[in-house]
Amino acid sequence: MEASKVDMFIMSNGKFFEGHHINAIREKLLIVDEEKWPMLSTLQFKEPTTILIVSLLAGTLGIDRFMIGQTGLGVGKLLTCGGLGIWAIVDWFMIQQATREVNMEKMQQFLH
């Protein structure tokens, strides 16, 4: 894929990934076929900040985990009042990273 397109993708979507992912994504995208560009631009990622807001407001109900697609953990959080309140507080600090990891998994599925 053209370097300019890859850089454009990274610039507009960099916030969805961890810093150490960006380089790997860039290198892989440079190898990927040009045909995949339309598909790549339709990929939807979860915004870490939005998920953080949801986590702050409705973390004890597990809505944040449901939203990033980790339904099992969401049910666990819902059934235990946010892990007796502890897990809910821990997730305020963990959920952004978890969201970025989930985004990376989605990206990897696309790249393979």
Partner 1 sequence: MTLNRGRLYTILFIACFAGYIWLYLNISETLTGQQSFNVCLIKQVTNIPCPSCGSTRSIISLSKGQLMEAFSINPLGIVVAIIMLFTPIWVIIDLLFKRKTLLNFYQQLESLLQQRKYAIPLGLLVILNWVWNIVKGL
Q: Which residues form the interface with partner 1 (CB under 8 A)?
A: 59-61, 69-73, 75-76, 78-86, 88-89, 98, 101-102, 105
Given the complex with partner 1, which of 22 and 75 has the nearer CB atom?
Answer: 75
Given the complex with partner 1, which of 14 and 69 has the nearer CB atom?
Answer: 69
Given the complex with partner 1, which of 13 and 70 has the nearer CB atom?
Answer: 70
CB of 39 to partner 1, least distance (A): 22
Task: Report d(CA 7, CA 25) in Å as an integer.
Answer: 10
> What number of other Cβ atoms are within 10 A of residue 24's Cβ?
14
CB of 21 to partner 1, least distance (A): 13
User: Which residues are CB-contacts of 111 (< 8 A; sequence separation ≥ 6)?
Assistant: 25, 28, 29, 32
Question: From the CA atom positions of the chain, what is the Rg in Å?
Answer: 16
